[in-house]
Structure 1
Amino acid sequence: MTSYTDVVVIGGGQAGLAAGYHLRRLGVDFVVLDAQSTPGGAWQQTWDSLHLFSPASYSSLPGWLMPAQAGETYPDAAHVVTYLSEYEKRYELPVQRPVRVGGVHRDGQAHLRVETDAGSWRARAVISATGTWWRPFLPTVPGRFDGRQLHTIDYRSPRDFAGQRVVVVGGGNSGAQIAADLAYDADLTWVTQRPPRYLADDIDGRALFDAATARRRALEEGRPDTGGVASLGDIVAVPPVREVRGRGLLKASPMFNRLVPDGIQWADGSAAQADAIIWCTGFRPALSHLAPLGLRGTRGHIPTDGTRALGEPRLHLLGYGDWTGPASATLIGVGRPARDAAREIRALLA
């Protein structure tokens, strides 16, 4: 069965909902297809102790401020899931789930065809908002480890590793937070590619958004690149990280050069035994559904002008990081590129 609409939004997480909000305001006919069975996007899959970097008022999608969470300065992931669920209802966004998109194809001069496990859709434009969570990156390291290996997406609680020897790999926010989460219950080895770069303790998501905004303005005005968030450091010193670091339990070792059956080994021959390795090594854009369009560029990115794909003007990409809009992978940052994408699509449809 084939259905028809002006715009198909692929992904019902924060980016897809922000796109839906602006499309609805502009009076555009659209549908949101979400592979998850319940609302909340990737926030449903995070570890138990995860909290936002910012207060609720700085973590909101367009149109509706996230309500504060009682007793918490920085809301937890469950609060975000509730907010996204209520956001869908508040704006009566037409989300269909669970619908898994297999591929997007060109269908003549006027349409794109979106093939799913629930039939196909013909649309005059498509917004891809699938994010990165569903495509974890694992580096290639020589050797073999016989213990348990996980990625950030698999980690839930330190209770699962109580009394075990655990290696956490990664010097970003996920690596630091998961290492801090495990520090009291596990025999922890934290490994980073370079010495950890902490942001100042008083910096949270508000300052990060301001830094990203300043960078966008500088680039738009032809001024030198300010460096944005990356210029401030790699790790936001959220309270649990500060606490564990202050107790001397969060010390980083340099990156090892090979795996061994019972752990890891450095170039000088020293080694650490492990029962489990947790790879907090980042993600790549989840774009396999766009492969039929043949648009993939370097580093897995599709070249864009703003959010619009250069090789297919009917396609917009939203929420994958700075290459699809400054801070577009954040709750507060996705609103502006979502608005711009919706306006461009309305102009295209006209």
Structure 2
Amino acid sequence: MTRTSQVVVIGGGQAGLAAGYHLRRLGLDFAILDAQTTPGGAWQHAWDSLHLFSPAAYSSLPGRLMPAQTGQTYPDAEHVVEYLTDYEKRYELPVERSVRVIGVHRDGACLRVETDSGTWQARAVISATGTWWRPFLPAVPGRAVFEGRQLHTVAYTRPQDFAGRRVVVVGGGNSGAQIAADLAHDTQLTWVTQRPPRLLADHIDGRALFDAATARRRALDAGHTDTGGVTSLGDIVAVPPVREARDRGLLTARPMFSRLHPAGVEWADGTRAEADAIIWCTGFRPTLSHLAPLQLRGPRGHIATTGTRAVGEPRLHLLGYGDWTGPASATLIGVGRPAREATLEIADLVA
């Protein structure tokens, strides 16, 4: 059986819900297809100690402020899941679970969305699948011969799992710094980064990062000099656990090693560090395999867009993958504006 809708949103995390909010306000017929069994998107799979970079009031989706979490300046992941669950119910967003989208195809005047539970026909599609489901692991020599445990950020849960062990954390971004700070107290930690880590000033949090990303996008759109955006400020937000570990001298980064050996890692000068586990905090790639039938991806794997709209398929919008689909669009506070712009374009398209 084939079902029809003016708009199909693929992904029921924060970006999909923001799109649903604006589609509801515009009075469009839409469905949100989510592969997860419960609300909360990727937040429900985060490690135990993960906290937002911003206070609750500055981490909200359109239409509803995130309530503050008792005893926490920066809410934890569980609080975010509760907020997203409430948001979905409050606006009666039509999320269907557990529905995995297999492929999106051109089909005359519509786009055909094939899923593991049936087919949809839509005038427009919003892809909001994020990046969590496609972790990136660098091709480091010797990775296959290391005899210890290797895991990516997505599989890390709690420091107790590594207590007393020798752990190498790879990555100089926020995830790497937070997980290194998590492990710094009860493990033999080696923190490794591609370049010297740059912590932002203690007073800078997600509010300033969003403002910087927005200013950069406005400058580029106006043809002005690139301001550098968030990267001009630093790489790591000094959230309280990171700040505490830093102030205690527990966060000293070493440069990237050149290869792995069976018992650990080795630098170019022959220096070695033994390890029981290596945690790769090395980022993600956009989850776009469901769009492969449209043949839109460029040489770097991204789909060319104007705003959120795919250049090669104007009925498709991409939302929440990073700055290339809207300033800070991979954040709670940043996804609202590009979601609104995408849905307004879609409203004009289906009118």
Query: If the length of structure 2 is used for normalisation, what is the TM-score?
Result: 0.99
Aligned to 1:120: 119
Q: Distance in 2 between the 1:298 and 1:24 partners?
A: 36
Q: For residues 185-229 of structure 1, what are the alpha-carbon distances to aligned partners after superposition, in whole Å with 9 as ceiling and x for unaligned?
A: 111000000111111111011111111121122223222111110
1:171-210 matched pairs, under 5 angstroms: 171-210=172-211
Where do 4+ consecutive residues of structure 1 move more than 3 Å? none
Q: Distance in 2 between the 1:189 and 1:130 partners?
A: 33
Q: Distance in 2 between the 1:228 and 1:16 partners?
A: 25
Q: Distance in 2 between the 1:138 and 1:80 partners?
A: 27
Q: For residues 87-122 of structure 1, what are the alpha-carbon distances to aligned partners after superposition, in whole Å with 9 as ceiling and x for unaligned?
A: 0000000000010000001111x1011010110101
Q: Distance in 2 between the 1:71 and 1:263 partners?
A: 40
Aligned to 2:110: 111
Which one-letter code corresponds to 2:116 in the other structure? Answer: D
Aligned to 2:303: 302
Question: Shift of residue 60 of structure 1?
Answer: 0.2
Corresponding residue SS for 1:131: coil
Aligned to 1:63: 63
Aligned to 1:291: 292
Q: Distance in 1 between the 2:251 and 2:223 partners?
A: 41
Aligned to 1:85: 85
Corresponding residue SS for 1:299: coil
Corresponding residue SS for 1:127: strand
Q: Distance in 2 between the 1:217 and 1:128 partners?
A: 24
Aligned to 2:31: 31
Corresponding residue SS for 1:105: strand
Corresponding residue SS for 1:85: helix
Question: Shift of residue 298 of structure 1?
Answer: 2.8
Q: Distance in 1 between the 2:189 and 2:209 partners?
A: 29
Q: Distance in 1 between the 2:231 and 2:27 partners?
A: 38
Identity %: 81
1:1-350 matched pairs, under 5 angstroms: 1-108=1-108, 110-143=109-142, 144-350=145-351
Which one-letter code corresponds to 1:166 in the other structure? Answer: V
Q: Contact 2:210/2:327 (CA < 8 Å) preserved in 1?
A: no
Quote the RMSD (CA, aligned, Å). Answer: 0.6
Structure 2: 5+ residue stretches without partners: none
Q: Distance in 2 between the 1:249 and 1:222 partners?
A: 43
Q: Distance in 2 between the 1:225 and 1:59 partners?
A: 26
Q: Distance in 1 between the 2:9 and 2:59 partners?
A: 22
